[in-house]
Amino acid sequence: MAHDLLIKNGLVVDGTGAPGARTDIAVTAGKISAIGKVSGPANRTIDASDCVVSPGFIDPHTHYDAQICWDGAVTPSPWHGVTSVIMGNCGVGIAPCLPAAREVAMHDLVNVESIPFDVLNKGITWDWETFPEYLAAAARRKPSVNLGFMAPLTPFRHYVMGDESIERAATAQETVEIARLLGEAVDAGALGFSSTILNQHLGFNGRPLACRNASRAELKAYSNMLKNRGKGAIEIALTRQISVLDEEQVSLLDFLLDESGRPVTFIAMFDREDLPEALRTTMARIAPMIAKGARPQTSPLPLTREISMRSPFSFASFPSWQRVFADKSKEAQRAVYTDRAFRDQFREELKQPLAAGSWDRITLHECQASELKNFEGQTVAEIAAAQGKDGVDAFLDITLADDLDLEFTMTAYNRRVDRMTELLSDPSVLIGLGDGGAHVDMLCDCGYPTYFLGTWVRERGIMSLEEGVRRLTSDPADFYGITDRGRLREGLAADITIFDPSAIGSSNRGEKRFDLPGGGKRMVMPSRGVEHTIVNGEVIYADGSLQTSGAGTVLRC
């Protein structure tokens, strides 16, 4: 009997960290049927002589919850060798959802994940109400990649509490019902639940995302739900100030670990040039929690993002900017940007020790007004000096002069090679935070696997190829309890990435496309060196383009 697929002569790096070996892999009925020198016929043969053959990469932090409705390949992730994605992170999502609450759910995504409302309104199919129905709807779409789901706390609270979820903690009775629904989601296949306490996570009408109102009593009930089942994980956006955990946040992390008995990953651990000792201090502070199963999460990319003044997520942590998110019409935002009181409050907030408000990190990238074109490529600090203004006035004045249509770029974090080497080399750190599907108008970081292997593993040599592959494959699989993927082993699912180790890589800057529903804009990151992405034995990406396939499945652990 012929194998469905035979991959010959590749350097097989199996995802465990073991040394690679040049050999063959056979695939039959979606599973790895043989590893070694394979003879006999095959329906398709791939010669991988110059390539590495590894498990498919698993992205632990995406926000493709809506995108799966119109793009089952969740591009651009498979361009970068990703075969499985985990979504529903940071407590925000679109299930469960009553029909009357759909607009609220969409506006949560608009504000938290910077996905345009028109795109969501045109693209989301809403062929579900409950979370199990959402998983079933995802499976019916026959996605090209495997889809894993966290149960995001905000829609569960809103489903039970309605608009009160935006205002207060749940009552004891409401908590019991929310916990029951979360348990139902985990029983249906959710990999755990997610939440956030970040002050920049604003939802409907610029109000705090509903899960931010969850009390310790609530979180205890939801964590106990996982402990009682003996499965699932927790993801939480925990660092109100990037890379800095105060005593309250450390206490919350410890609380979640103890009450759930399950692993917890939290964001975001980045290198901050304004706080050079923040990483070491925080990692030392949470060492006892790491021993219990805490996994700080980071991206290997230097974070450079586009700033749209119509959806300025980068400033959402400043209290003064909540007005900008409360009414996102151009007229309302123009009135806020003009208001002297808003400007004065923003100036005061920038004086806070952790504000990191350096105008030399923000550059005018593109504008429409001809009289501003000479400022393109200059930092706000340079523009302010040329105009004899402070940074706040220069920044907002040119925004108004271009009718809010201009775009800035901001170089934020992860720029110091020495400190990033220390962070990425720490085995407790979960590599991810690509945010695929989110912030699409300003950045695309979901190409981090190819950047990590090209820049950090090949060029900078901070770890072996085998360890680099392990960090992208079996490490996230083990965290989420995904036992049939993340390794190349006979009998496991044939999720495989074939890449040229001398060429693999990507830029840390995206390209602009207009391919969202209704022609909406997004940033995408092309890849280099990925020859084949294979999901459940079917080639879904080859020769630089997607292949027709419905090979993916919903991951249920």
Quote the tokens at residue 178: 């929310």
Is 155 found in the same domain as 96? yes
SS3 378: coil
The verdict on residue 40 lying in a domain is no
Quote the tokens at residue 524: 């995408």
Cβ–Cβ under 8 Å, residues 501 and 48 = no
Q: Enumerate residues 6+ apart whose C-beta is below 8 A from 271.
A: 243, 279, 413, 414, 415, 416, 419, 420, 423
Among the candidates 411, 437, 461, a domain finishes at: 411
**What is the pLDDT, as a whole number, of residue 113?**
83
d(CA 30, CA 5) in angstroms, rounded, equals 9
Domain extent, residue 362, equals: 306-411
Cβ–Cβ under 8 Å, residues 493 and 536 = yes
The verdict on residue 498 lying in a domain is no
Is 201 found in the same domain as 131? yes
Place of tokens 């006892």: 288
Backbone angles phi, psi at 531, to 5 degrees: -85, -45
d(CA 408, CA 314) in angstroms, rounded, equals 11
- For residue 486, give the amino acid letter: G
Give the DSSP H/E element, type plus range, for residue 343: helix 340-350
d(CA 207, CA 111) in angstroms, rounded, equals 10
Give the DSSP H/E element, type plus range, for residue 283: helix 278-285
Among the candidates 440, 456, 476, a domain finishes at: 476
Domain count, the chain: 2
The verdict on residue 45 lying in a domain is no
Cβ–Cβ under 8 Å, residues 449 and 302 = no
Is 465 found in the same domain as 332? no
Beta bridge partners of 379: 363
d(CA 529, CA 80) in angstroms, rounded, equals 9
Contacts 24+ apart (CB under 8 A), 286-291: 286/245, 286/250, 286/253, 288/254, 289/250, 289/253, 289/254, 289/257, 289/264, 290/428
d(CA 89, CA 97) in angstroms, rounded, equals 16
Quote the tokens at residue 281: 């201090």
Is 252 found in the same domain as 127? yes
The verdict on residue 396 lying in a domain is yes
DSSP state of 528: B
d(CA 368, CA 372) in angstroms, rounded, equals 8
- List Cα–Cα distances, 534 to 7, 388, 449, in angstroms: 11, 57, 16
The verdict on residue 373 lying in a domain is yes
Is 126 found in the same domain as 238? yes
**What is the pLDDT, as a whole number, of residue 45?**
97
Among the candidates 442, 476, 510, a domain finishes at: 476
The verdict on residue 32 lying in a domain is no
Quote the tokens at residue 171: 């009552």
Quote the tokens at residue 397: 């004045």
Is 121 found in the same domain as 104? yes
CB count in 10 Å sphere of residue 21 = 12
Is 350 found in the same domain as 423? no
Residues of the chain with pLDDT under 70: 240-242, 353-357, 412, 508-509
User: Which of 193, 189, 65, 203 has its CA nearest to residue 123?
Assistant: 65
The verdict on residue 393 lying in a domain is yes
Which CATH number fits the domain that encloses residue 205? 3.20.20.140
Is 464 found in the same domain as 388? no
The verdict on residue 231 lying in a domain is yes
Beta bridge partners of 90: none
Q: 305 exposed, middle or buried (CB, 10 Å; 0-12, 13-18, 19+)?
A: buried
Q: Enumerate residues 6+ apart whose C-beta is below 8 A from 414.
A: 270, 271, 298, 299, 300, 301, 302, 303, 420
Cβ–Cβ under 8 Å, residues 79 and 530 = yes
pTM, whole model, 2 decimals? 0.89
Is 228 found in the same domain as 151? yes
d(CA 62, CA 81) in angstroms, rounded, equals 15
CB count in 10 Å sphere of residue 118 = 15
Per residue in 175-231, pLDDT (tens digit) is: 999 999 999 999 999 999 999 998 878 888 888 899 999 999 999 999 999 999 999
CB count in 10 Å sphere of residue 351 = 8
d(CA 346, CA 344) in angstroms, rounded, equals 5
Is 462 found in the same domain as 405? no
Quote the tokens at residue 367: 């504008």
Is 200 found in the same domain as 263? yes
Is 398 found in the same domain as 460? no
Per residue in 239-296, pLDDT (tens digit) is: 766 677 888 999 999 999 999 999 999 998 888 777 778 888 889 999 999 999 999 9
Helical spans, DSSP H, in 22-127: 102-113, 117-123
d(CA 297, CA 283) in angstroms, rounded, equals 12
Per residue in 338-369, pLDDT (tens digit) is: 999 999 999 998 887 555 557 888 889 888 99
CB count in 10 Å sphere of residue 542 = 15
